[in-house]
Amino acid sequence: MKDMKVAPSLLSANFADLKSDLEKINQSEADWLHLDIMDGVFVPNISFGFPVLKYVAELSQKPLDVHLMIVQPEKFIPEVKALGAMMMNVHYEACPHLHRVIQQIKEAGMKAGVTLNPATPVAMLEDIIMDVDMVLLMSVNPGFGGQKFIPNTFKKIAQLREMITRCQASALIEVDGGVNVQNAPLLKKAGADVLVAGSSVFRAPDMGEAIHQLKNAE
């Protein structure tokens, strides 16, 4: 079976000791580092911004998977690029001109991801699936770490996998919210390629072991 990618979400890290948490992630089997940027408008919370992420980017040895939970994310393409981000994910619900934003992200030299809130149907991606490098399915309502996984996500992963196969698209499927060692094998079976995990990694007694278990979920 194909290898599962794991992207720990820094949102659940100890912000007073980010360096030590980042070192643990660097030493782990994590594939990417997931960074959640919130604006208090698109989602009812504010996380961290670019002045903080500049230092995070300097310390991280993992490719950066940036998840923008903000209105008008296209305004910040240069800032995300300046971090050296590998992937920039924007929300479908925040982009009336999604096709243009996706092209702009790619023109900036990054991979482009589109994110769906739990209530947005996968079918909305039919006319953009060939253009995106990844679809990020939210399995909680965005804005907070530590929420409960929404089981309807399994159906959405299967529908998305069917669309990708039918269109011969190459987009990866990433799942974000409430991911843990219990649901990871089921997410893999449903067709997920990348798992984002915040609290299940950062609150585990051994972070490296938690990441190892998610990666090897069967």
Using CB under 5 A, which residues numbered 132 to 171 contact Zn ion? Answer: none
Contact between 140 and ligand DX5 by CB under 6 A: the answer reads yes
Task: Single out the segment in contact with ligand DX5 by CB under 6 A; choices: 23-31, 80-88, 99-107, 137-145.
Answer: 137-145
Q: Select the binding partner of residue 198 from ligand DX5, Zn ion, none (C-beta < 5 to 8 A, by kind).
A: ligand DX5
**Residue of 120, 159, 199, 216 that binds ligand DX5 (CB under 6 A):** 199
**Residue of 73, 113, 177, 191 that binds ligand DX5 (CB under 6 A):** 177
Range list of H helices, 3-135: 18-27, 50-59, 77-82, 98-107
Token pair 């953009």 is at which residue? 128
Residue 19, token pair as written in the block: 């360096």
Contact between 65 and Zn ion by CB under 5 A: the answer reads no
Residues with Cβ within 8 Å of residue 61, at least 6 apart in sequence: 26
**Residue of 63, 118, 146, 185 that binds ligand DX5 (CB under 6 A):** 146
Identity of the amino acid at 68:
L
The pattern of x and - marking residues 25 through 64 that bind ligand DX5 according to CB under 6 A reads ---------x-x----------------------------
Contact between 12 and ligand DX5 by CB under 6 A: the answer reads yes
3-state secondary structure at position 77:
helix
| Length in residues, the chain | 218
Measured distance CA(5)–CA(211) in Å, rounded: 10
Using CB under 6 A, which residues numbered 156 to 175 contact ligand DX5? Answer: none
Measured distance CA(94)–CA(115) in Å, rounded: 10
Q: Would you call 36 a catalytic residue per the annotation?
A: yes
Range list of H helices, the chain: 18-27, 50-59, 77-82, 98-107, 153-166, 184-190, 199-202, 207-215
**Residue of 67, 156, 188, 215 that binds Zn ion (CB under 5 A):** 67
3-state secondary structure at position 50:
helix
Paired sense of beta strands 64-69 and 33-38, if any: parallel
From 21, 31, 65, 176, the catalytic residue: 176
Nearer to ligand DX5, 34 or 188 (CB): 34
Paired sense of beta strands 33-38 and 5-8, if any: unpaired
Binding-site members for substrate are 9, 67, 143-146, 176-178, 198-199
What residues make contact with Zn ion under the rule CB under 5 A?
36, 67, 176
What residues make contact with ligand DX5 under the rule CB under 6 A?
9, 11-12, 34, 36, 67, 140, 142-147, 176-179, 196-200
